[in-house]
Amino acid sequence: MIEYSLEEKTYTLNLGPQHPSTHGVLRVLLEMEGEFITKAEPVIGYGHRGHEHMAENRNYLQFLPNTARVDYLHALAYNQGYCMAVEKLIGLVVPERGEFIRVITAELNRISSHLLWLGAYLLDLGAFTPILYCFDDRENLLDLLDRITGSRLTYCFFRPGGVPQDLDDEFITGTRAFVKRLRTRFKDYDNLVTKNVIFINRTKDVGVITQEQCVKYGLTGPMVRGSGIPYDIRKSEPYSAYPQFDFVIPIGDKGDILDRYVVRVREMEQSLRIIEQALDKLPNGPIMAEKVPKRLKPAEGEVYQAVETARGEFGCYIVSQGDIKPYRIKLRVPSFGNLSILPELAVDTLVADLVAILGSIDVVVPEIDR
Amino acid sequence: MLIDKIKQALAPLNLEVADGDYAKTGCHLAVAAPPDQIQGVAQAMLDEGCFLASLTAVDLRESFDLVYHFANFSELCRTVVHVPLGKKKGMPTLSAIYPGADWYEREVFDLFGIHFFGHPNLKRLLLPEDADFHPLLKDFGASESND
Amino acid sequence: METKTGEPLIRFGLLTEALNLARANSLWPLTFGLACCAIEMMAAGMARFDLDRFGAGVFRPSPRQSDLMIVAGTISKKMGPAVVRLYEQMPAPKWVIAMGNCAISGGPFYYPTQYAIIPGADLIIPVDVYIPGCPPRPEAIIESILLLEEKITNRGRLRKFRQDVNR
């Protein structure tokens, strides 16, 4: 006997884990009343690969490829965070040219991550042209990075102590040409996307995050900057060669999706500024520290190193007990905290708005699941 | 200075507060707290405007060590709070003060088996719901066959 | 050509060859990116390494409308039942490409005391083509589509211009 009644009841809708716009294997359980969502609960774990358990079974250098696969879109920043943490434990100092090369490649990687976010987000909203433009720009960028790092996506280019391979002249001329070209392309993106009426209607005043929510949920990255808080680890806790460069932190004012989109596009422009300044000031010298031990065996202790990635704050917490394998590594990933605000933002919205909000959080699900 | 304000806010709780070595450990302030005081510490940090950056546990074979990292948006001051916990004991939850701690505590329960009293929804987060092991314990043996 | 469900009931003769040619030149993949390899799969479908010129550029989100499943990424134990269910939802004839080291044999995440992943897609679903790499380049994905076409039609495309084809 099927029961029915005249009063309104809610039904459960399952979004994922295989869905064209969940950016990986994320499942969201929705309790809906008609077309409106009353409760949303993300279910994660479909990409759990056991990175932290692997850390206890690998030595310090063998764990480096893992850090690239946690968030594969900005892999160089994760390499940087891990290498800096190990360098703090051992007491290595990276030479200046090495730091500059790290900054140039990490900022190029940040641009490629934001370009992919832009293309994929607009594909979720239904526009097919911008992703083709973004991927075209991204391919040019990946050609540059491929020359010196050897890979297109999951880089393991940094080592504790510096970088193993130096830049050559073709890379420098290619990067300068790329920077010039991308600046003209931003005008195309502006005309195609930012002034588009449909895009503005779908993103204005949707998914508003207040500054109090930022503190309570521990959000970081463009989510926080879109709500008006100028928090960027490259400025507030400078590391590597960032103090030598002149760049601003773009912030929004309301905290809706349109603000976060504008923050990310402006961040790409700031990254181009940093790359240009770094190429102008590039010093000569060694790229690797002098006495890097063959077997990395840090002293007993713990360290927490935070770096700013395209999604927020990546924190690498290493506990060492003097062995060649780490005792415990905790990877604090930005998408984990950023996604935990979704249940609160999704109340009383339509499913189409939920997809827009989820895209603007910019999650990479294998990083949440580790 | 924020570091002095935090020390002042934590003074009534009578905890061990020490200046951390930032160049070596990455933290400005190191606090050791017993499990029943953690909610007081969290409330004090929230009043100063700090956010919870990370919550994790370390299995020290005889006991656990829970590690809370706090940071601040406006001024640089990283605080680490170490909470020693015996095996087979539980912890009070922080999800009433910091809603973001909800998922972190579920992850610690999933990987280590530590219970959090007062948590609204303490289910497994990363492993399948019907898993019966906690993988990051030091005495977790080899896995069984594939598939 | 046998379908995955056994011997065909009706044999069409020469028409089978034409049907196989049609099937091979218009494979519709399922959007099934699990991890890092998904990005290279997307890049293979975009403007530089166009998959559309081989007929395989129409990525369908629903398994009921697709006939090729490209398993791109690591299959965790929680995801295993979902993969099998999606495979069973696809209508025959259907093919599977295992892309990347993780889908072939667990990749960098396999070590003797691991607990989290299923080391290989062929432990749960039958696989036709394997693409090694971590992640494989988009050119390798295109090569795998061409190899799959050869498997379906028993003839190759542009054979005299491609090396390592010893048929």
- β-partners of residue B85 are B64
Q: Is A154 on the interface with C (CB under 8 A)?
A: yes
Min Cα distance B105 → chain A (Å) is 12
The residue segments making up the domain with residue C145 are 29-154
The answer to whether the Cβ–Cβ distance between C46 and A19 falls below 8 Å is: no
Q: Is B82 on the interface with A (CB under 8 A)?
A: no
Q: How many CB atoms lie within 10 A of CB B138?
A: 11
Query: Among A63, A13, A17, which Cα is nearest to A38's?
Result: A13
- Shortest CB distance from A218 goes to which of B58, B76, B100? B100
Cβ(A97)–Cβ(A286) under 8 Å? yes
**Structure token pair of residue A177:** 């040409």
Query: Among A91, A100, A155, which Cα is nearest to A292's?
Result: A91
Cβ(B138)–Cβ(B61) under 8 Å? yes
Q: Is residue B110 part of a domain?
A: no
Percent with pLDDT over 70 in chain C: 88
Average pLDDT for runs of 10 along chain B of length 147 = 79 77 82 86 86 88 88 86 85 87 89 87 85 83 45
**Chain-centroid distance, C-alpha C97:** 2
The answer to whether the Cβ–Cβ distance between C36 and A154 falls below 8 Å is: yes
Mean of the per-residue pLDDT values of chain A: 88
Residues A333, A247: Cα–Cα separation, whole Å: 25
Q: Is B54 on the interface with A (CB under 8 A)?
A: yes
- Amino acid type, A43: V
The answer to whether the Cβ–Cβ distance between B147 and C112 falls below 8 Å is: no
Q: Is residue B101 part of a domain?
A: no
The answer to whether the Cβ–Cβ distance between A304 and B73 falls below 8 Å is: no
Q: Is residue C135 part of a domain?
A: yes
Q: Render pLDDT for A153-210 as a digit per residue (tens, 0 to 9).
A: 888 899 888 888 888 889 999 999 999 999 998 888 888 888 888 888 888 888 888 8
Instruction: Give the mean pLDDT of C26-45.
Output: 87
Q: Is residue C24 part of a domain?
A: no
pLDDT at C158: 67
Task: Write down the ipTM of this complex.
Answer: 0.89
Q: Render pLDDT for A4-25 as a digit per residue (tens, 0 to 9).
A: 766 767 888 888 787 776 677 8
A318: left (phi over 0), alpha (psi -120 to 50) or beta: beta
Domain count for chain B: 1
Domain count for chain C: 1
Q: Is C159 on the interface with B (CB under 8 A)?
A: no
Instruction: Give the mean pLDDT of A77-83.
Output: 91
The answer to whether the Cβ–Cβ distance between C78 and B141 falls below 8 Å is: no
Q: Is residue C143 part of a domain?
A: yes
- β-partners of residue A31 are A12, A39
Q: Is residue B122 part of a domain?
A: no
Mutate to test the interface with C, among A14, A15, A18, A124 (most CBs of C within 10 A): A18
Chain A residues inside the 8 Å CB shell of C116: 48-50, 53
DSSP string, A278-296: HHHTPPPS-SB-S---SS-
- In C, minimum Cα distance to B126 occurs at C78
HEC string for B24-71: HHCCCEEEECCHHHHHHHHHHHHHCCEEEEEEEEEECCCEEEEEEEEE
pLDDT at A107: 92
Cα radius of gyration rounded to whole Å, chain B: 16
Contacting partners of chain A (3+ CB pairs under 8 A) = B, C
pLDDT at C7: 66
Q: Is residue C93 classed as helix, strand or coil in its secondary structure? A: coil
Q: Is A48 on the interface with C (CB under 8 A)?
A: yes
DSSP state of C140: H
Q: Is C114 on the interface with B (CB under 8 A)?
A: yes
Q: Is A217 on the interface with C (CB under 8 A)?
A: no
Q: How many residues does the structure list for chain C?
A: 167
Residues A149, A131: Cα–Cα separation, whole Å: 25
- β-partners of residue C72 are C33, C99
Instruction: Give the mean pLDDT of A68-93.
Output: 90
Q: Is residue C15 part of a domain?
A: no
**Pairing verdict, β C129-131 and A301-308:** unpaired
The answer to whether the Cβ–Cβ distance between A336 and B103 falls below 8 Å is: yes
Chain B residues inside the 8 Å CB shell of C115: 133, 135, 140, 143
Chain C residues inside the 8 Å CB shell of A62: none
Query: Among A109, A99, A117, which Cα is nearest to A163's?
Result: A99
Query: Among A17, A15, A13, A11, which Cα is nearest to A355's?
Result: A15
Q: Is residue B74 part of a domain?
A: yes
Min Cα distance B63 → chain A (Å) is 14
- In A, minimum Cα distance to C78 occurs at A46
Q: What is the CATH number of the domain that holds B84?
A: 3.30.460.80
pLDDT at B145: 41
Q: What is the CATH number of the domain that holds C92?
A: 3.40.50.12280
The answer to whether the Cβ–Cβ distance between A72 and C116 falls below 8 Å is: no
Q: Is C107 on the interface with B (CB under 8 A)?
A: no
**Structure token pair of residue A167:** 């830049």
| CB-side neighbour CA atoms (13 Å) of C40 | 26
Question: Tokens 């905890």 correspond to what residue?
Answer: B15
Query: Hey, which CATH number is domain A11-369, 1.10.645.10, 1.10.238.10, 3.40.50.970, 3.40.640.10?
Result: 1.10.645.10
Model-level pTM?
0.90
pLDDT at A106: 92
pLDDT at B147: 36
Residues C7, C5: Cα–Cα separation, whole Å: 7
Percent with pLDDT over 90 in chain C: 21
Q: Which of A327-336, B15-24, C92-101 has the lowest mean pLDDT?
A: B15-24
Q: Is A299 on the interface with B (CB under 8 A)?
A: no
- Tally of helices (H runs) and strands (E runs) in chain B: 4, 7
Chain B residues inside the 8 Å CB shell of A53: 135-136
Q: How many CB atoms lie within 10 A of CB B68?
A: 24
**Structure token pair of residue A118:** 């832009």
Q: How many CB atoms lie within 10 A of CB C92?
A: 11
The answer to whether the Cβ–Cβ distance between B103 and A317 falls below 8 Å is: no
Torsion of CA A288, A292, A298, A302, to 10 degrees: -10
B88: left (phi over 0), alpha (psi -120 to 50) or beta: left
- In B, minimum Cα distance to C75 occurs at B147
Cβ(B143)–Cβ(C125) under 8 Å? no
Min Cα distance B145 → chain A (Å) is 16
Contacting partners of chain C (3+ CB pairs under 8 A) = A, B
pLDDT at C165: 53
Q: Is residue B51 part of a domain?
A: yes
